[in-house]
Chains A and B, each alone.
Chain A
Amino acid sequence: MAEEKMTKKKMSKASKNAFLNYGIVLAFFVIFQVLSSTGILSNSLKGQLIPVVSYMIMAVSLNLVVGISGELSLGHAGFMSIGAFTGVVVEAVILSNSPAAATLSKNLGLQILILVASIVAGAIIAGVAGVLIGIPVLRLNGDYLAIVTLAFGEIIKNLLYCLYIYIDDTGLHFSLDPTSLAGTTVLNGPMGATSIKKISIFAAGIVLLLVVLVIVQNLVNSRSGRAIMAIRDNRIAAEASGLHITKYKMMAFVTSSALAGAAGALYALNYSTIVPKKFDFNTSILILVFVVLGGIGNMTGALIAAAVLTVLPEMLRDFQDYRMLVYAIVLILVMLLTNNERVKVFLAGLFNKKKSKDDAKEVA
């Protein structure tokens, strides 16, 4: 009897948080959908809707690595980049083979089909990149992931600078030589992708965000998520309890990478032009800021921080000169007022991590 009651209480507590987040996302959708259809929303803000959703996904997915798995990643934008350009290529390939391409703007079904295909492909390729990075790095015990992901983000950017992709009669071609470009250019080195058909839809972005939340939150509240958090809290005890460390670190990292890839595809297909430089170190840090400000491991906080901090610079555009100043002040205020405790916990966590690494040598 008493046990049964306890189960219920607990289930509802874990799922209450999850449902709160679904509610926030839906409310966000309804409010902005209404605002934009009634014309209250400025065009520039309207243009921010899909980027905001993309960054929310980035924040939630990075939180899986930083908050849940306890690893520092400084190259999350690199995975977004892979997803973005994979999505662009998939779109171009489908359109080049589709007789309906000419009427794309009137064909919502085709748009959604291409969008879904691009997002799935972006997620898969970014996930593969996550596997390739994770396998050598995550078996090491220490903060190597931060260094390697930092380098990864830069390497991806520089690789894209040298990459030229085009479609001609014989199909899709990859080249390192700009003079070889022929037919339809898909990717033009540092110039990026310049002829994207804008097919991302706000509603589709919201659906993707909800799917991402379901995946991340259900993962966290399951056997595997418990293992990931146990390894974060005490690696040695986790091993002694029979957990295979690398497996669960990989699970968190690869899932996170794939979701970032999905966000990247959604993001890229919202623009007609996108350059590799968009996904540089600054973007990685920006996403990390969302996670830290939202409270490490706190999905609700990450969502809100991503939304506010993406929209804010846009809303402050009227203040031109003082824009970044106000932005900085808001950042500091948010930190002081809402998350003071969590920031402290985070810093304490970093400190503890160092400590536990030291005493890992001498297990008692």
Chain B
Amino acid sequence: MMSDNNEKKTASESNIVNLPSDTFINKRDMDKPLVLETRHLGIDFGGLTAVDEFNIGVGATEIMGLIGPNGAGKTTIFNLLTKVYQPTRGTILLCGKDTHGMTPAAVNEAGIARTFQNIRLFDKLTVEENVKIGLHNHINYSMASGIFRLPSYWKEEKKAHEKALELLDIFGMADQADVPADSLPYGAQRRLEIVRALATEPKILLLDEPAAGMNPSETDELMANIRKIRDEFGIAVMLIEHDMKLVMGICETIAVLNFGRIIAKGTPVEIQNNPQVIEAYLGSKKDE
């Protein structure tokens, strides 16, 4: 199920360790528990097995890439992790805790936040309000305090407002706080989705094609920002991306998916040199 060649490691990649359980993680995360672990994860849609035997472990501050040709099952894996779909088999452990039976909302509260391949913003709300939805579970006042405008309403709303602007500032979007989300350009909408996800204070951030539709300079900026988010917030990032420059540039480990199964796992260099990957993924990409 995994690349059985390529033991060579370059200097920059010598930090990545292969654990006995077939998991690659960075040395700096060695002492911390895995933030996310899946075992034999799989889902069938009717007769179609969309994902099967998906086993990964993600270190506490790891940036992991999930790549594969169109229809390989990448988004489906995000949907399994966030409980949009209930897995047909297998387990998902979030910080060692089984997420079995949790709702999407509960999984978010437990520490998984995501963005969507097809952007899903709250169109009629402003940019700031979109971020405040991400902050929702960290804003503490009751329905009654809101209706009667009690002091906790003013205090908490002020705090939320400041926090929202601070988060928007990561992407330099604070000046657009008051515009409706659906009036933002495409790239900005993608960035807003990341900010909203980040606002929920996740332990792991799942990004589904964050660079889609962005131009090269926007993509460069995004790469820098993903790294910055990881460093500042100390969280793990798992990203799906077709842009190889981005994937190879910021991911510490990569899992390659084809027809719902992992065909290779390893460091960017290992993946780039893996013949199976070249054939399945890079080869098919040339055909497109």
Contacts and interface: CB of A to CB of B under 8 A. Distances in A.
Given A229-B122, A233-B123, A222 B146 contact: yes
B71 to A, nearest CB: 11
A239 B146 contact: no
A242 interface: yes
B105 A244 contact: yes
Contacts, number: 120
A207 interface: no
A225 interface: yes
B261 interface: no
A237 interface: yes
Interface of B is mostly: helix
Nearest to B161: A7
B246 interface: no
Contacts of B156: 223
Contacts of A364: 75, 116-118, 208
Nearest to A247: B105
Interface size class of A (residues with CB under 8 A): 35 or more
Contact of B147 (A219, A243, A245): A219
B123 A241 contact: no
Given A222-B146, A229-B125, A230-B122, A245 B105 contact: yes
Interface stretch (B30-38, B55-63, B107-115, B225-233): B107-115
B280 interface: no
B16 to A, nearest CB: 30
Nearest to B85: A363
B247 interface: no
B124 A229 contact: yes
A224 interface: yes
Interface in B204-233: 208
B137 interface: yes
A106 interface: no
Given A226-B129, A242-B136, A237 B105 contact: no
Contacts of B128: 10
Interface string B101-144: 00111001100011011101111110011101110110101010
B75 A363 contact: yes
Contacts of A10: 128, 178
A68 to B, nearest CB: 10
Contacts of A233: 121-125
Contacts of A219: 143, 146-147
A133 interface: no
- What are the nearest 3 A-B pairs in CB distance? A222-B146, A242-B108, A237-B120
Given A237-B122, A240-B84, 11 more contacts: A9-B178, A10-B128, A222-B157, A224-B143, A226-B125, A229-B124, A234-B120, A234-B121, A363-B84, A364-B75, A364-B117
Interface of B: 75, 79, 82, 84-85, 103-105, 108-109, 113-114, 116-118, 120-125, 128-130, 132-134, 136-137, 139, 141, 143, 145-149, 153, 156-158, 160-162, 165, 174, 177-178, 196-197, 200, 208
